[in-house]
């Protein structure tokens, strides 16, 4: 048996994986099961096979984007699903202790990869978000929401799911007309503009992406609300030095993943200092359902340098040091999986346009990223957390009923 088959031996039970080599040899693993993918992986060169064997977590992705391997019908989603689904994160069995070397390596190396000072943070943001606004327009929803949508019904479309996400968040913020809101990591401005429309609040959105800033300002001007919704190119740490106690509410959606563990306490300390004494923050972030871990090599190298998905324990531990009260926590377990599958389908539909705009290698990199992320949320240990924080235990109603009422009212007006 070849080495790559040994690597996968016992891991493919349901569904089939056919591995074909340039010399005409092939191997089939697994067995056909209804509802499970049947995938063909073609390895075109011996160098590509060595690449996978030497570093399975990174090598397959590199070989795929460089053209050293291909997948039948370009079904990279099916390939990654096949492996992940056969080995789900929540599978049964005995839980053992991690080895000493693994624990030590994580403790020593992880902080070095996440030393996101201001200069590095800007470079990391530019790497991903300054690609091209036109690129993101091709496959995001019309409001360009690049974060987990909310799916009260799995059969609704992406547009409605992203509207539902904004309403879900707005309801948790308990907004009142006239309040001042800070949006940390405002993206292309969609959330800030939405919050301004719902209860007529004033919003400041901050970002480190010049491309996002330009479009967000254009959108505010086109909506005629530039006096009420403003956007700045500034880091949250710098803002906290000049705007202490100025905000009734803070919202941060899909930004905390870029902070890095060494800056967690600084992030929450900055947020506390930016809030008024009765202020409330809603943090929407990708999270781990288990213990702290490490960013996978492919994502770290090609997609989100400096990024890290926190365990809930890490997030809460850091927030506690600033006396933030976690008043509500929701785990959106499968919502990002639905979102990512919708994005993947849209990217596949825009294949020719993306290749013409970027190139074929970039296109393969992007669908590999989306397929891997989808599998991580469907069968791996990833989820999304929405955590509501308050500075004062009396700032919010003492039951959660107001959230559902407010969400219904907001959706009825859309």
Same domain, residue pair 79 and 121: no
| Same-domain pairing of 38 and 176 | no
pLDDT at 133 over 70: yes
Beta strands in 254-378 (DSSP E): 275-288, 325-332
Please state, rounded to an integer, the average pLDDT across all residues of the chain: 91
Residues contacting residue 26 through CB under 8 Å, at least 6 positions apart: 18, 19, 20
Structure confidence at residue 119 (pLDDT): 60
Task: Please indicate whether residue 122 or residue 184 has the higher confidence score (pLDDT).
Answer: 184
Residue 25, pLDDT above cutoff 70: yes
What b/e string do you get for 376-385 counting C-beta neighbours within 10 Å, with b at 16 or more? bbbbbbbbbb
To which residue do tokens 């990199």 refer?
Answer: 365
Same domain, 180 and 292: yes
Count: domains in the chain = 2
Q: Does residue 194 sit within a domain?
A: yes
**Which pLDDT value is given to residue 95?**
46
- Taking the model in full, what pTM does it have? 0.91
Neighbouring C-alpha atoms within 13 Å toward the C-beta of 405? 7
Specify if 382 maps to a domain. Answer: yes
**Has residue 404 got a pLDDT over 90?**
yes
Indicate if 296 and 337 belong to the same structural domain: yes
Average pLDDT of the residues in 34-47? 94
Where helices occur in 278-350 by DSSP H, the ranges are: 297-298, 312-320, 335-349
Q: Examine the domain organization and report whether 345 and 394 are in the same domain.
A: yes
CB atoms closer than 10 angstroms to residue 275? 25
Statement to judge: residues 122 and 37 lie in one domain: no
| Closest-CA residue to 75 (of 304, 333, 299, 374) | 374
What is the domain range of residue 243? 113-413
Nearest partner of 306 among 56, 104, 136, 111, judged by Cα:
111
- If asked whether residues 151 and 237 sit together in one domain, one would say yes
90 within a domain of the structure (yes/no): no
In sequence order, the β-bridge partners of residue 18 are 28, 40
Q: Which string of DSSP letters, residue by residue, matches 194-232?
A: HHHHTT--EEEEEES-HHHHHHHHHHHHHTT-TTTEEEE
Please name the residue ranges forming H helices in 115-225: 118-129, 133-137, 158-173, 190-197, 210-222
Structural domain includes residue 191: yes
What pLDDT does residue 2 have?
67
Do residue 325 and residue 284 come from a single domain? yes
The H or E element that residue 7 is part of is: helix 3-8
Return the CATH number at 177: 3.40.50.150
Q: Which residue has the tokens 């990391």?
A: 124
In tens, the pLDDT along 269-308 reads 999 999 999 999 999 999 999 999 998 899 988 888 888 9
């Amino acid at each position: 048996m070849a080495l790559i088959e040994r690597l996968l031996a016992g891991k493919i039970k349901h569904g089939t994986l056919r591995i074909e080599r340039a010399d005409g040899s092939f191997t089939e693993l697994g067995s056909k099961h209804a509802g499970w993918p049947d995938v063909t992986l073609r390895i075109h060169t011996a160098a590509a096979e060595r690449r996978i064997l030497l570093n399975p977590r990174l090598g397959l992705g590199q070989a795929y984007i460089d053209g050293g391997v291909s997948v039948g019908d370009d079904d990279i989603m099916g390939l990654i699903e096949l492996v992940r689904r056969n080995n789900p994160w929540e599978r049964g069995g005995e839980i053992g202790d991690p080895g000493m070397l693994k624990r030590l390596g994580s403790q020593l190396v992880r902080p070095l990869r996440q030393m996101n000072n201001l200069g590095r943070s800007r470079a990391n943001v530019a790497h991903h978000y300054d690609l091209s606004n036109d690129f993101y327009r091709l496959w995001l929803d019309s409001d360009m929401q690049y974060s987990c949508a909310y799916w009260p019904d799995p059969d609704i479309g992406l547009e409605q799911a992203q509207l539902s996400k904004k309403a879900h968040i707005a309801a948790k913020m308990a907004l009142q007309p006239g309040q001042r809101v800070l949006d940390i990591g405002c993206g292309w401005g969609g959330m800030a503009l939405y919050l301004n429309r719902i209860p007529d609040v004033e919003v400041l959105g901050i970002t480190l992406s010049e491309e996002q800033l330009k479009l967000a300002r254009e959108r505010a001007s086109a909506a005629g609300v530039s006096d009420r919704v403003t956007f700045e190119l500034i880091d949250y740490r710098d803002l906290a030095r000049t705007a202490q106690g100025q905000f009734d509410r803070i919202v941060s959606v899909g930004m905390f993943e870029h902070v890095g563990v060494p800056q967690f306490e600084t992030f929450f300390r900055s947020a506390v200092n930016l809030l008024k004494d009765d202020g409330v923050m809603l943090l929407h972030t990708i999270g781990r359902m288990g213990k702290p871990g490490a960013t996978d090599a492919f994502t770290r190298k090609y997609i989100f340098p400096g990024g890290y998905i926190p365990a809930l324990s890490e997030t809460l531990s850091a927030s506690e040091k600033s006396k933030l009260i976690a008043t509500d926590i929701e785990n959106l377990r499968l919502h990002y999986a639905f979102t990512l599958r919708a994005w993947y389908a849209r990217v596949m539909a825009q294949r020719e346009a993306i290749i013409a705009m970027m190139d074929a290698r970039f296109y393969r990199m992007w669908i590999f990223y989306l397929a891997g992320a989808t599998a991580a949320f469907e069968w791996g240990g990833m989820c999304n957390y929405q955590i509501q924080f308050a500075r004062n235990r009396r700032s919010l109603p003492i039951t959660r009923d107001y959230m559902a009422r407010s969400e219904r009212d907001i959706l009825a007006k859309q």
